[in-house]
Amino acid sequence: MSTISLAGKTALVTGGGTGIGKAIAVEFAKNGAKVIVNYNASKANAEEVVSEIKALGGEAIALQADLTKEEEVKALVEECVKFGGTIDILVNNAGTLVQRCPIDQMDLSLYNKIMDVNMTSTFLVTKHVIPVMKKTGGRIINMSSVAAHNGGGPGAVIYATSKAAVATFTKGLAKELAPYNILVNAIAPGVITTRFHDQYTSAEARENFKKSIPLGREGAPEEVAGAAMLLATRYGSYITGEMIEVNGGMYMD
């Protein structure tokens, strides 16, 4: 019998309607957690995830919020508590490249949008979940990227910068929240088969990426979800301030 369980836990997964977020939401639900699937624009996708979880016998709800707007984040957290009673696990997964753009062609508006969707959203959701978690402890899992280490691909400097900021935020927050038994960690995915790369990475570039990966393939969202499970369960009870690399050997620290 498996001893891995999230029974009795409530998890908020931001950007949970597609890709890595979806995989994490479903994996958490399979292991007993109540799951809030947050989305901004992908309502149909988020509702499909909820339906999939319910078909598996789990409990889930889809909640919309623009995570770059503080009032919407506050309302989201309130709705999460109404649904689950608390928030035991937060996965700050929401984020995207927005668009590839060289620095000398980037205007301030695009710079701000990239930083907002990746870093500001992580800050705002975390800020408003902390008071809930301080009551009983919890786990915060932030989504960084291999780009935080290598500066990203062409036209992705600010995306990489935002993900490096998430990594640093994770370490500082881990120290700040340790007295409250809130563990804070990050995951840094490499090239994962999701619509992110379908949208932003050419087929040729993806083939070149594979050549640089010792395992010789892209990763699956479910393989990132496995790392999230480690950090969310009792097996991660002495891990904080760390970043787990899920990249097939593309980057080795």
**DSSP single-letter state for residue 218:** P
Q: Structural domain boundaries of the chain?
A: 10-245
Q: How confident is the model at residue 210 (pLDDT cuts 50, 70, 90)?
A: confident
Q: Which residues contact 54 (CB under 8 A, 6 or more apart)?
A: 60
For 131-146, the pLDDT digits (tens) are 999 999 999 999 999 9
**Is-catalytic flag, 180?**
no
Q: What are phi and psi of 63, to 5 degrees?
A: -130, 130
Average pLDDT over residues 44-48: 98
Residue from 159, 200, 238, 251 carrying the catalytic annotation: 159
For 180-208, the pLDDT digits (tens) are 999 999 999 999 998 777 777 778 878 88
- Output the DSSP codes for 26-95: HHHHHTT-EEEEEESS-HHHHHHHHHHHHHTT--EEEEE--TTSHHHHHHHHHHHHHHHSS--EEEE---
**DSSP single-letter state for residue 13:** E
Q: Which residues contact 38 (CB under 8 A, 6 or more apart)?
A: 12, 13, 14, 15, 16, 46, 62, 63, 64, 65, 67, 76, 94
Q: Is 46 exposed, middle or buried (0-12, 13-18, 19+ CB in 10 A)?
A: buried
Give the rounded distance of the alpha carbon of 63 from its chain centre.
16
Is residue 4 within 8 A of residue 229, CB to CB? The reply is: yes
- Report the percent of the chain where pLDDT is more than 90: 89
Fold for 10-245, please state it.
Answer: Rossmann fold (3.40.50)
pLDDT in the model for residue 2:
57
Nearest to 35, CA basis, from 68, 55, 63, 64 = 63
Is the pTM higher than 0.85? The answer reads yes
Nearest to 209, CA basis, from 153, 143, 160 = 153
